[in-house]
A = this chain, B = another copy of it.
Amino acid sequence: MLIQLDMESKDPLYTQLRNQIVEGIASNRLKPGDALPSVRSLAQDIGINLHTVNKAYKQLEHEGFLVIQRQKGALIHPDGVPQADDFYWMELSKALRPMIAEAKCRGIDEHQLTTLCQEIYQSFNKKGDSSS
């Protein structure tokens, strides 16, 4: 699984890493029970500090994507990710709102918006098809 961080981004490194792992799960390249690299080895691979990797892993653990075990390292949660609940739907709406508002301001119509969302959604399906 390839990780690509943008040192110039305004998103913190640990958030970018967290997002890429989530995308890996969404696209089925990372499956329940799969082992992730150790914080040390991943940190070295992508050239960042191990604490930064650790912070991403801890957040993913807290969100229910991972389990971290004392010396087996981190695994994609074997039971899968917790399903969307009311709280998550609310948070998702809150996050989407300003982005959709701006898109509307910039002349993107409803159909263009849903098409974009569908394309992104389906891009995760495609990747899953081809991998093991």
Contact = CB atoms under 8 A, between A and B. Distances in A.
Q: How many copies does the complex hold?
A: 4
A117 B101 contact: no
A121 B113 contact: yes
B117 A113 contact: yes
Contacts of A89: 116
A67 B105 contact: no
Range, interface on chain A? 35 or more
A106 B118 contact: no
A88 B68 CA distance: 22
A98 B12 contact: no
A1 interface: no
Interface in A76-92: 81-84, 88-89, 92
Given A26-B100, A26-B104, A93-B120, 8 more contacts: A22-B101, A26-B105, A62-B62, A92-B103, A96-B117, A113-B117, A113-B118, A117-B117
